[in-house]
Amino acid sequence: MERNDNLADFLRARRAALEPRALGIEDTTPRRVPGLRREELAALAGVSVDYYTRLEQGRPITPSQSVLDALARALRLDDAERSYLHAVAHQPSDPRRPARRTPQKVRPGVHALLARLGDTPAFVLGRRTDILATNRMARLLLADFDAMPARERNAVRWIMLDETARAVFAQSWEQVAAMFVGTLRMDAARHPDDTRTAELVGELSMCSKSFRRWWAVQKVVRISHDTKVLHHPVAGELTLRTEALTFPDDPDQTLFAFLADPGSRTDEALRLLASWSEDAADPHQRERGLHHRG
């Protein structure tokens, strides 16, 4: 069996993130590092200190389901983190036969669904947060991913390296960026032999100090729903609810949509943005619109 450094790194990071007093553990001696001590975590999980230490050292051990559940409870993991713990516990961190997977494809029916969403910006997210398909409003709101080289059509890469993304998510860039980094980490655990994921992590680690910091924290995220404030150079400030729907027959594809409350200023702004883009695409319509507004 091979070492499991992914499990070891995750356990150490989550243990360091725990606050002893919040768990009812009083400090009797000064702590040299943040978080719980190994013996404290082992006691909470009901395992021996020696066994837990070997897990944190990346020793070739495959913990049982019950041990993993006990560790998850002791570490106060959420559902996404529990899934990640179980995934990395049974996978070596350095597979001997890395795989280049076949490109993902979006079904024609999903493309049709994106088009029918009208003024609702939406896109399909794939493995390693690759952006597989977008509708016109998503391209207007965020960026024209279809015009980018294939390797650049990636949500984490765009958010971390493109100044446009920082401008769009001006009020919540760090939150959004950290969320997608956590999503990439979850995907890396589900597909540990994917060489393109390793290449992406390597590139972003070289180019972004923020990515290196968030990747080292070992935070895991499963995209669900949220509310975000975006800024668009034409439409202005937009408050949008986000919904993420994973396809039952393909868990590696997720439809991500930005929803405006009906009748809200954001709803009207998106409609105007859609109309403006149509005018901009038609010089005769744009000229008529200018004369009309004049």
| Section 116-121 average pLDDT | 92
User: Count of alpha carbons within 13 Å of 225, Cβ hemisphere only?
Assistant: 4
Whether the full predicted model's pTM is greater than 0.75, yes or no, is: yes
- For the cut 60, the answer to whether the pLDDT of residue 94 exceeds it is no
Asked whether 219 and 202 are in contact (CB, 8 A), the reply is no
Say which DSSP state 292 is in. Answer: H
For 5-89, CATH number out of 1.10.260.40, 3.40.50.920, 1.10.510.10, 3.30.830.10 equals 1.10.260.40
- Partners of 154 in the β-ladder: 130
C-alpha distances (whole Å) from 119 to each of 132, 208, 272 are 19, 34, 10
Classified by CATH at the fold level, domain 108-284 comes out as: Beta-Lactamase (3.30.450)
CATH 3.30.450.180 domain extents, the chain: 108-284
Query: What is the per-residue pLDDT across 138-158, written as a single tens digit (0 to 9) for each?
Result: 999 999 999 999 889 999 999
Query: What is the per-residue pLDDT across 13-24, written as a single tens digit (0 to 9) for each?
Result: 999 988 887 777
CATH 1.10.260.40 domain extents, the chain: 5-89
